[in-house]
A = this chain, B = another copy of it.
Amino acid sequence: MKTVRLDLSHSPYDIHIGQGLLQRVELIVPLLPQKQVAIVSNETVAPLYLEKLRASLEGAGVCCHSIVLPDGEQYKTWETLNLIFDGLLANRCERKTTLIALGGGVIGDMTGFAAAVYQRGAPFIQIPTTLLAQVDSSVGGKTAINHPLGKNMIGAFYQPRLVLADLDTLNTLPDREFSAGLAEVIKYGLIDDFEFFEWLESNIERLMSRDSEALAHAIERCCRNKARVVAQDEKETAGVRELLNLGHTFGHAIEAGLGYGAWLHGEAVAAGMMLAAHASHELGQIDDESVARIKALLTKAALPVAAPDLGLARYRELMAGDKKVESGRIRYILMRELGQCYAGELPLDVLEKTLKTGCDR
């Protein structure tokens, strides 16, 4: 088992990465202020892992309630969030009852947000069961739900007390979701870790065959990278954390433009990172070879490398609604060189050329 420590001012916590962690209740129980938990999961993950987790917790004398939600990004809404509150209140859960998120990014984001606001803040533990959630959404305390007019528009910064990334849960992950997780893995190489990008180029086949050792290394590296950034800029005010949005300004537009759930978040981010690469190339910052290397790696990870052709006007409209907009100006994460990103703006003509080059037609 590897452990990454998140050193945040108020609420430091550990991310444990390894096999068989669902049964390691001794990692969980000492952190519960009350021997009562509510496990929030979805209809896909619950049949696979809920009973295993519940049995190990109940074996340690913990009273477990469970709340099972429908599965999918399209359910990351007020209405589904309310199902969590209904379940908590119907079971008389108190503000010291710990909420455990058992599932992917959507379950983590919604359960974290529910914990942030239930009785103004209940304890929260995350057990991410997808690669994407293990490398990305379980680190950093961003929780949220979507609004019809924008993704993750309603949310909170709220840190878990513990994250358990059990590698065994990745074995049941469908190929498409596994690849979507690799998009966020590759993102960390591109942001500011060229060495890791090269390691990924050499090990992408091992990762695609879900080799545990390679996976553990990649997940740990991503968590360490993200932990470093989050510790510097917990609430995204210092401009550092912004870099984690590589591929996300375009990506969120793709997700919203096609309707949530049509493309997986990681797929949209992959196509968004390619657009960021094309834009950076257009600006004369990265060369043809770099663009080709990014494209090759994403392709080996079975990810889309062309964005859907929504048209310039629609892309602009969708991106103008993004949280990263400041005083009406859209902020993009761009590449200074391969493995080195920065935040900046894009002139309209560059955006137009980027979409011409990078969109499927």
Contact = CB atoms under 8 A, between A and B. Distances in A.
A92 interface: yes
Interface in A290-345: 320-321, 323, 325-327
Chain A interface SS verdict (over half):
mixed
A319 to B, nearest CB: 12
Given A78-B78, A82-B78, A85-B147, A156 B120 contact: yes
Contacts of A78: 78, 82
Nearest to A94: B325
Contacts of A147: 85, 89
Nearest to A79: B78
A34 B346 CA distance: 22
Given A78-B78, A117-B154, A118-B154, 5 more contacts: A89-B149, A89-B150, A89-B153, A118-B153, A120-B235
Interface of A: 34, 78, 82, 85-86, 89-90, 92, 94-96, 113, 116-121, 142, 144, 147, 149-150, 153-157, 235-236, 320-321, 323, 325-327
A154 B120 CA distance: 6
Nearest to A327: B34
A157 B120 contact: yes
A157 B153 CA distance: 19
Contacts of A82: 78
Contact of A156 (B94, B96, B117, B144): B117
Nearest to A157: B120
Contacts of A120: 142, 144, 155-157, 235-236, 323
Contacts of A94: 323, 325-327
A232 to B, nearest CB: 17
A13 to B, nearest CB: 18
A119 B153 contact: yes
Nearest to A119: B323
Contacts of A95: 323
A235 B82 CA distance: 24
A279 B361 CA distance: 76
B121 A156 contact: yes
Given A34-B327, A117-B117, A120-B142, A90 B153 contact: no
A97 to B, nearest CB: 10
A89 B142 CA distance: 20
Contacts of A142: 120
A244 to B, nearest CB: 14
B92 A320 contact: yes
A240 to B, nearest CB: 16
Nearest first, the 7 A-B pairs at minimum CB distance are A89-B149, A120-B155, A119-B323, A117-B154, A120-B157, A117-B156, A120-B156
A321 B95 CA distance: 11
Nearest to A118: B154
A327 B236 CA distance: 36
Contacts of A156: 116-117, 120-121, 156
